[in-house]
Amino acid sequence: MLLYILFSIFVVLLYNIYDEEGDIIKKRDIVFIGIILLIALLSGLGFRIVQNINSTGNTFAKIVYQNELILMINLENNEYHLYDTIYKDQIHVGRASEGVFYVPGKVTTEMTTLYEEDLYAKDNSIVGIKVIVADAKISVAYQESPKDLCELQKPTSSPLMPIVCLPNELVINIYTDIESDAFIPDSVLE
């Protein structure tokens, strides 16, 4: 289906593309564009195939704050491992069984909106980013940044779609090639 759509677009482009002067683009330009599209399509399919081959059936999220791995979560059952870092006191896992985790964020300091919606966060004076795991996917439910872009990213369970919160210096990477017995690293706090 995707190939059919790309081929249709290519045919339309072949007959309707004009350059800046209003002249029809030459055939070699169309061929070049087609080759680039084909390479992009094959690369994407190649990444998906490699991902599926290496997949163990387990899906884990590694949360990195300021270039330091702070938390790893099994997206299938909400089990987690908290790393022994200087940020361990800023990570709250009291609602892990519900799939709710609170992690630090560099610019997320104004918590009024979260406190209005989340009594647990208010009662525990949590300052940071609220991360939710639901349906074996992870997403950011609350954070503060100039454009709130990482809150707008859809929930993910794909290694090809990490969640990146640049102003907060937080990155959530997804791994599907880790065995469940390799889930426990050496430097784990809990």
Q: What confidence tens digit (pLDDT) does each residue in 57-93 have?
A: 788 899 999 999 999 999 889 889 899 899 999 999 9
Q: What is the dihedral of CA 155, 161, 162, 168, to 10 degrees?
A: -70
Q: Residue 154 and residue 156: Cα distance in Å, rounded?
A: 6
First-to-final CA distance of the chain = 47
Return the pLDDT at 186.
44
pLDDT digits (tens, 9 = 90+) for 124-164: 888 889 999 999 899 999 988 777 788 888 999 888 889 99
Residues 13 and 67 in one domain: no
CATH number, domain with residue 137: 2.60.320.10
User: How many domains does the chain divide into?
Assistant: 2
Residues 78 and 172 in one domain: yes
Q: Residue 78 and residue 106: Cα distance in Å, rounded?
A: 25
pLDDT confidence bin for 9, thresholds 50/70/90? low
Range of the domain at 50: 2-54
Return the pLDDT at 189.
45
Q: Is the pLDDT of residue 5 over 80?
A: no
Tell me if 17 sits within 8 A of 25, measured CB to CB: yes
In a domain, 187, yes or no: no
In a domain, 80, yes or no: yes
Residues 169 and 75 in one domain: yes
Return the pLDDT at 18.
58
Cβ neighbours of residue 161 closer than 8 Å, sequence gap 6 or more: 153, 174
Q: Residue 103 and residue 96: Cα distance in Å, rounded?
A: 12
Tell me if 162 sits within 8 A of 155, measured CB to CB: no
Name the residue among 163, 100, 148, 146 with its Cα closest to residue 126.
100
Could you tell me how many residues make up the chain? 190
In a domain, 88, yes or no: yes
